[in-house]
């Protein structure tokens, strides 16, 4: 039961981190790039494809699932230092994952 509650805490951390990062990065005044879109890309007016729904769910729920798995795996098996290191590295990787679509076009890396 304790392992499940620790996993739920990891899932909640992943969801809250996702919400905070998407909220914060979408409110920064990034320079806008002109990207050509083909087809209907508005989920409100077009029927979403299975691929679009899968990617959207993965992007929004992925960090929560990763942190829940990390917590369930590390509970009573890893030392506190090893778990803390993995948790911090995971958090930094999630931040980099969400900042990439905003920052990469700005700095012209790709």
Answer whether residue 35 is part of any domain.
no
pTM to 2 decimal places: 0.77
Answer whether residue 68 is part of any domain.
yes
Answer whether residue 31 is part of any domain.
no
* pLDDT, position 81: 92
* pLDDT, position 63: 93
Answer whether residue 109 is part of any domain.
no
Answer whether residue 108 is part of any domain.
no
Residue 16 has pLDDT above 90, yes or no: yes
How many other C-beta atoms can be found within 10 angstroms of the C-beta atom of residue 58? 11
Overall number of domains in the chain? 1
Taking the alpha carbons at both ends of the chain, their separation in whole angstroms is: 47
Distance CA 31, CA 10 (A): 34
Q: Please answer whether residues 98 and 21 qualify as being in contact, where contact means their C-beta atoms are separated by less than 8 angstroms.
A: yes
Answer whether residue 62 is part of any domain.
yes
Answer whether residue 88 is part of any domain.
yes
Give the CA angle between residues 29, 31, 34 to the nearest 5°. Answer: 135
Domain range enclosing 54: 1-24+48-103
């Amino acid at each position: 039961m304790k392992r499940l509650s620790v996993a739920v805490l990891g899932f909640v951390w992943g969801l809250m981190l996702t919400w905070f990062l998407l909220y914060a990065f979408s409110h920064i005044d990034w320079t806008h790039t002109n990207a050509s879109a083909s087809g209907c890309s508005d989920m409100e007016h077009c029927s979403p494809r299975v691929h679009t729904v899968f990617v959207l769910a993965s992007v929004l729920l992925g960090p929560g699932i990763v942190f829940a798995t990390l917590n369930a795996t590390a509970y009573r098996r890893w030392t506190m230092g090893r778990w803390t290191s993995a948790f911090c590295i995971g958090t930094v990787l999630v931040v980099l994952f969400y900042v990439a679509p905003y920052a990469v076009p700005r700095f012209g890396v790709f």
